[in-house]
Copies of this chain bind each other. A is one copy, B any other.
Amino acid sequence: MIIFGVDPGLTRCGVGVIEAGAYRRLSFIHVDVVRSDPHTPQDLRLLEIYNGLCAKMDEFIPDVVSIERVFAQENRNTVLGTAQAAGLAMLAAAQRGIPVAVHTPSESKLAITGNGRAEKIQMERMVARILGLNQLPKPADAADALAIAICHALRPAGAIQGGEREQHLTKAQRQWAQAAQRAGKTSSAKRAM
């Protein structure tokens, strides 16, 4: 299963592609940052990001696109552009019939380090270890994109929110559900699970 992770951004949009095999064995395929020039008008920047994402999806033909969730309360100066970049990744996936999953940074940290509040450097080290990389993935946007792809592969099985199921969950699944609930996560991630 090819997982295409996206750390959305208008200036720098991270893309990380991994393969998830049997027994949750993960391997690195690709990492890159799709960029747009901050000095060009916004419509042309969006077109640049969209074209870059489409080209990568056509190159790696993923089975699922895993996108880092954008929150409205984030930095006001960039949040709208970030949301638009996430929207373009969703559009590109939908146009290709690829299911989309949305994961929060806390879910990603929890799935990768076991701690929903892990530091950045811990995350980068774990991403490198999980994928068997000799050095830390760079730049940071790229590492985040790999993390969000790994998160989708390593999330606890059946990690779907919903109070009626919680009593049957394992500890990891409960932690996951709680992290997702704290983030006010909606149902859009369910499709790909």
Contacts and interface: CB of A to CB of B under 8 A. Distances in A.
Nearest to A90: B43
A94 B191 contact: no
Interface in A85-111: 86-88, 90-91, 93-95, 100, 102
A172 to B, nearest CB: 25
A1 interface: no
Contacts of A80: 70, 72, 79-80, 83
A99 to B, nearest CB: 8
**Interface size class of chain A, counting residues whose CB lies under 8 Å from the partner chain:** 20 to 34
Given A47-B95, A72-B80, A80-B70, A41 B187 contact: yes
A84 B84 CA distance: 5
Interface of A: 41-44, 46-47, 50, 70, 72-73, 76-77, 79-80, 83-84, 86-88, 90-91, 93-95, 100, 102, 186-188, 191
Contact of A100 (B41, B72, B83, B84): B41
Contact of A94 (B44, B70, B186, B188): B44
A86 to B, nearest CB: 7
Given A42-B90, A42-B100, 17 more contacts: A41-B188, A42-B102, A43-B90, A43-B91, A43-B100, A43-B188, A44-B94, A46-B87, A46-B91, A46-B94, A47-B95, A72-B76, A72-B77, A79-B83, A80-B80, A84-B90, A87-B88
